[in-house]
Amino acid sequence: MKKKLLMFSLAILSSCAIADRSSIVIPESNTDRLTSQNTNLSTSALFNAYIGKDLLQRRLAEMYVIGVIDSTEGELWCDFKIASPNAIKEQVFNALKSGTISSPQKRASSTIKNKLKNLLPCRESK
């Protein structure tokens, strides 16, 4: 529980900063999979890692994308009952790809959230 609270706090604090990471930071230890240094990535940095040849970079980029998708489910976008996870990931990939041209320095998480919000908005039940 404390780890989750710490990760959540780090994510909130980092959302106040401007995206300035130019690449994903590889953890120093093989036992580490996530690092707080990877919470402030630009759209272009995440996309480059996501499509890069370095397997570890791609895995960490995938974890970042899945974390944003998972943390916004039911709040910014409906849920996996509406669309398959693969279809959602494809749309996120397309958003990151186009974002590298239109706004490469924008926070990658903002690019992903904007796509999900516009793609699968939750409808309020009447």
- The full set of domains in the chain, from first to last, is 37-126 (1.10.890.40)
DSSP string, 46-95: HHHHHHSS-HHHHHHHHHHHHHHHHHHBTTTB--TTTS-HHHHHHHHHHH
Closest CA to 57 of 68, 76, 65: 65
pLDDT at 102: 96
CA dist., res. 15 & res. 33, Å (int) = 20
| pLDDT tens-digit series, residues 11-68 | 444 444 444 456 666 666 655 555 556 677 899 999 999 999 999 889 889 989 988 9
pLDDT at 69: 92
Six-digit token string for 66:
């899945």
Helix H or strand E segment including 100:
helix 85-102
| pLDDT tens-digit series, residues 97-119 | 999 999 999 999 999 999 998 88
pLDDT at 124: 56
Instruction: Please give the mean pLDDT across all residues of the chain.
Output: 77
CA dist., res. 99 & res. 57, Å (int) = 19
CA dist., res. 51 & res. 71, Å (int) = 23
